[in-house]
C-alpha cells in the first residue's frame, strides 16, 4: 500500500499547483475585466509596430 | 434614434453618404462627395486608416445608447490632479471613457496606444469602461496621450485617485482568494473522504483510515482558517455589538465541526467531517463573490455616470483670460463665466449679465427664473440666457447644498438600521440550532449513557446538518440574479438591502419636475410646419435647451450651414432674401414685454413673426406606468417644490389624488415621515437637489440617471433616463425576488426538519451529511434561477 503515499503526494502537488496558478492569475488582475476578456480574444493581434 | 442608427448601418457609406463614415451621425449638408459630418470625423477617419486600423469600421457594432464618436473641440478637464506617480517614476492615470460602442473600440484604442512610444500600459477595462494609462518620463505627456484618444472621438474624463475605491477592489480580491483556497481544500479533502467512504464498505484498515484523516486535517485546517476569515470577521463584529447575523451560526458550525473532526482524528475515530466544513465554505463563498461582484459593477457604473458629468467651470482670471477648472477646486470669490445652455457649477452671486436660469433640478420649479446682477444662483441650475459672470460665494453653511446635506444627514440618522431578512432568520435560527445540539448531547450522555466521545460526535452531527448552507445561500443567490437582471436593463442597485426594502413598498411618492415630467421643455401648440422646419434647421446649430427641444420636436433635421449664434440673444442666418433670425423677443424685434413662459421667436423676411412656446410635458409612458403601479396595489403621491397650481394641474391630468405643491426640502421630508408614521413603506422617486433629503428619508429611493449628483449618490437605485417604466420593473423584480427567497428559506427549513431528527438519533454519517448539504445548496441555487422569469417587459 506504499503507492498511496506517492498518490497522496502527487494529488497534493497537482492541487497546490492549481491553487498557485489561481492566486497568480488573481494577483495579475485577470479577473478585473471579464467582459473585455471575453471580447478581446475575438480580435486579431495588434499590427506590428 | 435607435431605428435611425440601425437604418444608417444598412446603407453602404460609399453609395450614398447619408451617415458620417466615422461617427455614424447625420450629415451636415448631404453633399454627394462628402463622407463625413465634420472635419473632426474626417481627421479621425484618416488617423485610423493611416495607422492601418481600418478594420475597425468593419468590426464596429454601434451602440445606440452610447455617445456618438464625434471628436469635440473644447477645453479638456484638468488632468494633472488625477495623475498618480510611483516612486520609480511611473505615472498612472485612470480615465472614464465615454463613447465605447463595442469590443471593437477597445481594440481600436489599445492598438492605437500600443504605437505610442514610452507608454508602458494602455488598457481599457470593458466592464467598468475605464482606460488605464501607465507611462514613464514627463507627467505632462498625459495631455498628448489623452489627446490621441480624444481625436478618435471618445471623451475622456479623469478619475481622481481619491475617488478610486481601492478598498473595494481588495475586498473583492480577498473573497476571490478565499474562494480559491476553499475550492482547493474542499476538492482535495473530498478526494480523501471518498476513499474513506468506499473503504469503509470494503476493507480499509484503521491505520490507512487514520492516515487519510490526518492528511485531510492537514489540508483542511489551514484552508478553513483562511477561507473562513470573511465569515469569522463579520460574525465577530456582530457579536461584539450584541447582535447576531447569518455568519454567527456559520462560524460556530464550521469551527465546532473542525475541532470535533480533529479530536476524532487524534483518537483514531471512524468519522471526520473536514470535507463538509470545507465544502460549506466553498458554496457560501461562491454566493458571496457573485454578490460582491454584481454590486461592485453596479456601483462602478453609477460612479462612471457621475464622473462623466461635466463638472468643469470656466474661471475668469484677473486679466480676463479663461481657464477650465474642476468645480470643486474653485476658490471663494473666483469669477466664473457661465455660457448659454451651460450648467452653473458653483454657488454664487451674479455680478454681470442678465438672463434666465432654469432651477428645475434644484427647486423643482418648471419655469425659468430671471437672473441679473445680485441674484443668488446655485450649483446645478442651468443658464438659459446670456452668459453670466458669477462670483463664487461662501460654500459654507449658507448654501442650499449645505442645507440639503444637513437634512440628508438628519434623515439618515433617523432612519433605523434595516435588518435584512437573512439576519432576522438567523436571529431565530441560531439559538434553536445550538439548543438542539445541546439537547442532543445531554440526552445521549446523560440519559442514554453513551460515551462522552460519541455524545459529542452526535451533537456535532446535528450542527453539521443544520449548518445554514442552504439558508445562507437562500438570500444572496436570489439577490445576485435579480441584481444582474436589473443591471442588464440599466437599473443600478447601489444598496445591498434595496431589493428587500423595495419588496415592502406600498406607497410611491413622485417628484414632479424631471421625474414625472421631462427635464427638458416640449414645444407646445401648433405652428406652421414650414416655419417650424426652418427654425429647427437653425436651432440644430445651438446647444441652448430650447433650441434642442425645438429640434427634438421636429425630428431628424439637417443643420443649416452659416448660422451665427449671438450669445444670449439668438441665431441668425444670412439668406438671399435677407436675414433670418431665431431667438428672444427683443432679438427678433417683437418687443421687450416679458412672454408667458419660455419661448423662441422666428423672424423671416416677408413673413409674420412666429412664436414657439414651450411647456413641460409628462414623460413618455407616464400614464401607463402609473396605471401599472396602481395595478400592483400601490398608493401614489405627488410631492413637488413647484407652484401649487402647476402641480395640481399635472396631478389632475395623471389622476393622482394625493398631491402637494410648493414643498420645501424640509417639508418633503416631513411629509415622508408622516407617511412612515402611518406605517407606510414609501418608495421616493425624485431627481432634484431639493429631493435629496427626501430620498434619504424614504424607506427606499430611486432616481433617474440625469439627477443631481447629490441625489444620485443618496438614492438606493439609479435607473435609465428614458421613461419611468424601470420603476415598475424594479418593484416587480423585488416582489418576485422576495417570493423566491421565501421559497428558498422554506426549503432550507424543511430540509432541516427532515434531517435534524436523523442527526439527533445518531444516524447521520459524514457521507450522508456531505450529500445532504451539497444537494440542498444546489436545489436552492437552482430555485433562485427562477427569478429570471420576472425580467423583460413591464406591461
Which is the catalytic residue, given B511, B518, B642, B691? B511
State the Cα torsion B143-B146-B149-B150 to the nearest 10°.
-70
Least CB-CB distance to A36: which of B51, B124, B184?
A: B124
Q: CA B21, B22, B23: angle at the middle one, nearest 5? A: 110
Say if residues B258 and B220 touch (Cβ distance below 8 Å): yes
Say if residues B700 and B683 touch (Cβ distance below 8 Å): yes
Residues of B in contact with A12 (CB under 8 A): 188, 215, 219
How close A13 comes to chain B (CA, Å)? 11
Least CB-CB distance to A32: which of B55, B107, B125?
A: B125
Is B180 within 8 Å of A15 when comparing Cβ atoms?
A: no
Is B53 within 8 Å of A47 when comparing Cβ atoms?
A: yes
DSSP class of residue B707?
Answer: S
pLDDT at B178: 93
How close A35 comes to chain B (CA, Å)? 6
Least CB-CB distance to B106: which of A19, A39, A47?
A: A39
Is A34 within 8 Å of B124 when comparing Cβ atoms?
A: no
pLDDT tens for residues B309-337?
Answer: 656 677 777 777 777 776 666 777 788 88
pLDDT at B28: 59
- C-alpha cell at position B737: 425576488
Task: Please count the residue pairs, one from chain A and one from chain B, whose beta carbons lie less than 8 angstroms apart.
Answer: 65
Question: Closest-CA residue in chain A for B214?
Answer: A8
State the Cα torsion B163-B167-B171-B176 to the nearest 10°.
70
For A37, counting Cβ atoms within 10 Å of its Cβ (0-12 exposed, 13-18 middle, 19+ buried), the class is middle
What stretches of B202-273 show up as alpha helix (H) in DSSP?
Answer: 206-227, 229-240, 247-266
Is B208 within 8 Å of A1 when comparing Cβ atoms?
A: yes
pTM of the model: 0.72
Least CB-CB distance to B176: which of A12, A31, A43?
A: A31
Q: Which residue would you say has higher pLDDT here, B626 or B448?
A: B626
Say if residues B704 and B490 touch (Cβ distance below 8 Å): no
Of B28-42, B275-289, B432-446, B591-605, the range with the lowest mean pLDDT is B28-42
Residues of A in contact with B191 (CB under 8 A): 11
- Grade residue B669 by pLDDT with cuts at 50, 70 and 90: confident
Residues of A in contact with B53 (CB under 8 A): 47
Say if residues B660 and B639 touch (Cβ distance below 8 Å): yes
- Grade residue B17 by pLDDT with cuts at 50, 70 and 90: low
pLDDT at B183: 92
Question: For residue B253, which of B234, B233, B228, B270 has the smallest C-alpha distance?
Answer: B228
CA B406 to chain centre: 24
pLDDT at B227 over 90: yes
Residues of A in contact with B177 (CB under 8 A): 23, 26
- What are the residues facing B337 on neighbouring strands? B314, B389
B511 catalytically annotated: yes
Say if residues B84 and B92 touch (Cβ distance below 8 Å): yes
Least CB-CB distance to B177: which of A15, A23, A39?
A: A23
pLDDT at B792 over 50: no
d(CA B661, CA B715): 22
d(CA B554, CA A27): 54
Say if residues B441 and B461 touch (Cβ distance below 8 Å): no
- What are the residues facing B357 on neighbouring strands? B369, B383
Is B103 within 8 Å of A23 when comparing Cβ atoms?
A: no
How close A10 comes to chain B (CA, Å)? 11
Say if residues B319 and B168 touch (Cβ distance below 8 Å): no
pLDDT (average), residues B495-520: 83
How close B778 comes to chain A (CA, Å)? 24
Buried b / exposed e along B116-143 (16+ C-beta atoms within 10 A): eeebeebbbbbbbbbbbbbbeeeeebbe
pLDDT tens for residues B265-292?
Answer: 898 877 788 888 888 889 888 888 887 7
Is A15 within 8 Å of B184 when comparing Cβ atoms?
A: yes
Is B103 within 8 Å of A42 when comparing Cβ atoms?
A: yes
Is B188 within 8 Å of A35 when comparing Cβ atoms?
A: no
Question: Closest-CA residue in chain A for B186?
Answer: A15
pLDDT tens for residues B625-663?
Answer: 889 989 888 899 888 877 787 788 888 888 888 888 888
d(CA B256, CA B467): 11
Q: Which residues contact B357 (CB under 8 A, 6 or more apart)?
A: B344, B368, B369, B370, B371, B375, B377, B381, B382, B383, B384, B385, B388
B121, B176, B179, B188: best to mutate for the A interface, most A CBs within 10 A: B188
Chain A residues near any Cβ of chain B (below 8 Å): 1, 4, 8, 11-12, 15-16, 18-19, 22-23, 26, 31-36, 39-40, 42-44, 46-47, 49
Residues of A in contact with B219 (CB under 8 A): 12
pLDDT at B29: 55
Question: For residue B688, which of B716, B710, B717, B657 has the smallest C-alpha distance?
Answer: B710
Question: For residue A11, which of B227, B274, B195 has the smallest C-alpha distance?
Answer: B195
User: What are the CA-CA distances from residue B465 to residues A37, B262, B493, B533 (Å)?
Assistant: 40, 18, 34, 74
pLDDT at B226 over 90: yes
Is A4 within 8 Å of B211 when comparing Cβ atoms?
A: yes
d(CA B549, CA B539): 9
pLDDT at A20 over 50: yes
d(CA B782, CA B795): 27
Percent of chain B with pLDDT over 90: 4
Q: If you write DSSP's letter for every residue of B67-102 in order, what string do you get? A: PP-----SPPPP-GGG-EE-TTSEEEEEEEEE---S
- Grade residue B224 by pLDDT with cuts at 50, 70 and 90: very high
B90-98/B119-125 β-pairing = unpaired
Residues of A in contact with B128 (CB under 8 A): 33
Three-state SS annotation for B461-494: HHHHHHCCHHHHHHHHHHHHHHHHHHHHCCCEEC
Q: If you write DSSP's letter for every residue of B438-455 in order, what string do you get? A: HHHHHIIIIIS---HHHH
Percent of chain B with pLDDT over 70: 85
Question: Closest-CA residue in chain A for B176?
Answer: A26
pLDDT at B254 over 80: yes
DSSP class of residue B523?
Answer: E
User: Quick one: how many helices (H) and strands (E) in chain B?
Assistant: 25, 27
User: Quick one: how many helices (H) and strands (E) in chain A?
Assistant: 2, 0
pLDDT (average), residues B420-424: 77
Question: Closest-CA residue in chain B for A27?
Answer: B173
For B55, counting Cβ atoms within 10 Å of its Cβ (0-12 exposed, 13-18 middle, 19+ buried), the class is middle
pLDDT at A17: 92
Residues of B in contact with A9 (CB under 8 A): none
d(CA B388, CA B348): 11
pLDDT at B7: 42
Is B181 within 8 Å of A19 when comparing Cβ atoms?
A: yes
For B300, counting Cβ atoms within 10 Å of its Cβ (0-12 exposed, 13-18 middle, 19+ buried), the class is buried
d(CA A14, CA B772): 28
Element (H, E) at B575: strand B570-575
Is A47 within 8 Å of B107 when comparing Cβ atoms?
A: no
pLDDT at B9: 45
Is B110 within 8 Å of A46 when comparing Cβ atoms?
A: yes
d(CA B483, CA B199): 45
For B32, counting Cβ atoms within 10 Å of its Cβ (0-12 exposed, 13-18 middle, 19+ buried), the class is exposed
- Grade residue A24 by pLDDT with cuts at 50, 70 and 90: very high
Is A26 within 8 Å of B111 when comparing Cβ atoms?
A: no
Question: Closest-CA residue in chain A for B59?
Answer: A43
Find the largest Cα–Cα distance for chain B: 113
d(CA B276, CA B759): 15
Sheet holding B322-326, edge to edge: B322-326, B312-316, B335-338, B388-392, B348-352, B376-377
Amino acid at each position: 500500500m506504499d503507492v498511496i503515499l506517492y498518490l497522496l503526494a502527487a494529488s497534493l502537488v497537482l492541487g497546490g499547483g492549481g491553487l498557485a496558478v489561481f492566486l497568480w492569475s488573481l494577483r495579475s488582475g485577470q479577473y478585473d475585466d471579464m467582459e473585455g476578456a471575453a471580447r478581446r480574444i475575438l480580435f486579431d493581434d495588434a499590427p506590428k509596430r | 434614434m435607435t431605428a435611425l442608427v440601425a437604418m444608417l448601418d444598412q446603407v453602404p457609406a460609399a453609395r450614398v453618404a447619408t451617415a458620417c463614415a466615422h461617427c455614424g451621425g447625420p450629415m451636415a449638408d448631404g453633399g454627394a462627395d462628402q463622407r463625413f459630418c465634420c472635419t473632426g470625423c474626417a481627421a479621425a477617419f484618416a488617423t485610423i486608416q493611416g495607422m492601418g486600423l481600418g478594420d475597425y469600421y468593419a468590426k464596429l457594432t454601434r451602440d445606440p445608447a452610447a455617445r456618438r464618436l464625434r471628436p469635440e473641440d473644447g477645453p479638456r478637464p484638468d488632468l494633472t490632479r488625477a495623475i498618480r506617480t510611483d516612486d520609480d517614476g511611473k505615472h498612472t492615470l485612470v480615465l472614464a471613457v465615454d463613447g465605447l460602442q463595442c469590443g471593437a473600440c477597445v481594440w481600436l484604442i489599445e492598438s492605437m496606444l500600443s504605437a505610442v512610444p514610452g507608454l508602458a500600459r494602455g488598457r481599457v477595462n470593458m466592464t467598468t469602461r475605464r482606460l488605464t494609462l501607465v507611462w514613464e518620463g514627463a507627467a505632462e505627456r498625459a495631455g498628448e496621450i489623452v489627446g490621441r484618444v480624444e481625436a478618435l472621438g471618445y471623451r475622456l474624463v479623469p478619475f481622481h485617485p481619491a475617488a478610486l475605491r481601492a478598498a473595494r477592489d481588495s475586498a473583492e480580491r480577498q473573497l476571490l482568494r478565499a474562494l480559491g483556497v476553499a475550492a482547493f481544500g474542499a476538492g482535495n479533502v473530498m478526494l480523501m473522504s471518498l476513499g474513506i467512504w468506499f473503504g469503509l464498505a470494503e476493507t480499509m484498515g484503521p491505520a490507512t483510515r487514520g492516515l487519510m484523516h490526518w492528511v485531510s486535517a492537514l489540508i483542511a485546517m489551514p484552508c478553513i482558517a483562511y477561507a473562513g476569515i470573511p465569515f469569522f470577521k463579520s460574525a465577530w463584529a456582530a457579536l461584539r455589538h450584541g447582535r447576531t447575523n447569518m455568519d454567527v451560526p456559520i462560524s460556530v458550525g464550521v469551527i465546532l465541526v473542525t475541532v470535533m473532526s480533529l479530536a476524532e482524528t487524534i483518537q483514531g475515530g471512524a468519522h471526520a467531517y473536514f470535507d463538509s466544513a470545507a465544502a460549506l465554505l466553498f458554496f457560501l463563498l461562491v454566493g458571496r463573490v457573485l454578490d460582491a461582484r454584481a454590486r461592485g459593477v453596479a456601483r462602478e457604473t453609477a460612479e462612471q455616470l457621475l464622473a462623466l458629468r461635466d463638472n468643469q467651470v470656466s474661471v475668469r482670471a484677473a486679466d480676463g483670460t479663461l481657464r477650465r477648472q474642476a468645480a470643486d477646486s474653485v476658490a471663494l470669490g473666483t469669477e466664473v463665466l457661465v455660457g448659454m445652455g451651460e450648467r452653473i457649477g458653483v454657488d454664487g452671486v451674479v455680478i454681470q449679465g442678465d438672463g434666465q436660469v432654469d432651477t428645475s433640478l434644484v427647486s423643482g420649479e418648471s419655469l425659468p427664473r430671471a437672473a441679473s446682477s445680485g441674484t443668488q444662483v446655485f450649483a446645478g441650475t442651468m443658464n438659459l440666457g446670456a452668459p453670466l459672470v458669477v462670483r463664487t460665494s461662501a460654500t459654507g453653511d449658507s448654501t442650499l447644498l449645505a442645507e440639503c446635506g444637513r437634512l440628508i444627514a438628519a434623515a439618515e440618522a433617523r432612519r433605523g438600521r434595516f435588518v435584512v431578512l437573512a439576519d432576522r432568520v438567523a436571529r431565530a435560527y441560531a439559538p434553536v440550532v445550538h439548543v438542539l445540539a445541546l439537547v442532543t448531547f445531554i440526552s445521549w450522555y446523560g440519559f442514554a449513557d453513551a460515551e462522552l466521545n460519541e455524545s459529542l460526535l452526535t451533537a456535532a452531527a446535528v450542527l453539521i446538518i443544520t449548518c445554514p448552507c442552504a439558508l445562507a445561500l437562500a438570500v444572496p443567490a436570489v439577490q445576485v440574479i435579480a441584481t444582474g437582471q436589473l443591471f442588464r436593463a440599466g437599473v443600478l442597485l447601489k444598496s445591498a438591502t434595496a431589493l428587500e426594502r423595495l419588496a415592502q413598498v406600498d406607497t410611491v411618492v413622485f417628484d414632479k419636475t424631471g421625474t414625472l415630467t421631462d427635464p427638458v421643455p416640449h414645444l407646445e401648440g401648433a405652428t406652421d410646419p414650414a416655419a417650424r422646419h426652418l427654425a429647427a434647421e437653425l436651432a440644430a446649430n445651438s446647444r441652448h435647451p430650447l433650441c434642442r427641444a425645438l429640434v427634438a420636436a421636429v425630428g431628424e433635421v439637417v443643420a443649416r450651414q452659416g448660422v451665427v449664434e449671438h450669445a444670449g440673444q439668438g441665431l441668425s442666418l444670412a439668406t438671399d432674401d435677407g436675414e433670418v433670425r431665431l431667438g428672444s423677443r427683443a432679438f427678433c424685434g417683437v418687443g421687450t414685454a416679458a412672454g408667458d413662459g419660455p419661448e423662441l421667436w422666428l423672424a423671416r423676411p416677408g413673413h409674420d413673426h412666429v412664436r414657439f412656446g414651450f411647456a413641460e410635458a409628462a414623460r413618455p409612458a407616464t400614464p401607463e406606468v402609473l396605471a401599472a403601479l396602481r395595478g400592483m396595489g400601490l398608493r401614489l403621491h405627488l410631492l413637488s417644490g413647484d407652484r401649487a397650481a402647476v402641480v395640481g394641474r399635472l396631478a389632475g391630468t395623471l389622476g393622482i389624488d394625493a398631491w402637494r405643491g410648493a414643498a420645501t426640502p424640509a417639508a418633503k421630508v416631513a411629509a415622508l415621515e408622516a407617511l412612515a408614521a402611518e406605517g407606510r413603506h414609501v418608495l421616493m422617486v425624485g431627481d432634484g437637489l431639493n429631493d435629496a433629503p427626501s430620498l434619504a428619508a424614504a424607506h427606499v429611493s430611486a432616481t433617474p440617471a440625469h439627477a443631481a449628483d447629490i441625489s444620485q449618490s443618496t438614492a438606493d437605485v439609479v435607473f435609465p433616463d428614458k421613461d419611468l417604466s424601470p420603476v415598475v420593473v424594479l418593484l416587480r423584480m423585488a416582489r418576485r425576488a422576495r417570493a423566491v427567497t421565501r421559497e428558498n428559506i422554506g426549503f432550507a427549513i424543511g430540509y432541516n426538519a427532515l434531517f435534524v431528527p436523523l442527526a439527533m438519533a445518531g444516524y447521520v454519517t459524514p457521507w450522508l451529511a456531505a450529500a445532504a448539504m451539497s444537494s440542498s445548496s444546489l436545489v436552492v441555487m437552482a430555485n433562485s434561477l427562477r427569478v429570471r422569469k420576472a425580467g423583460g417587459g413591464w406591461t
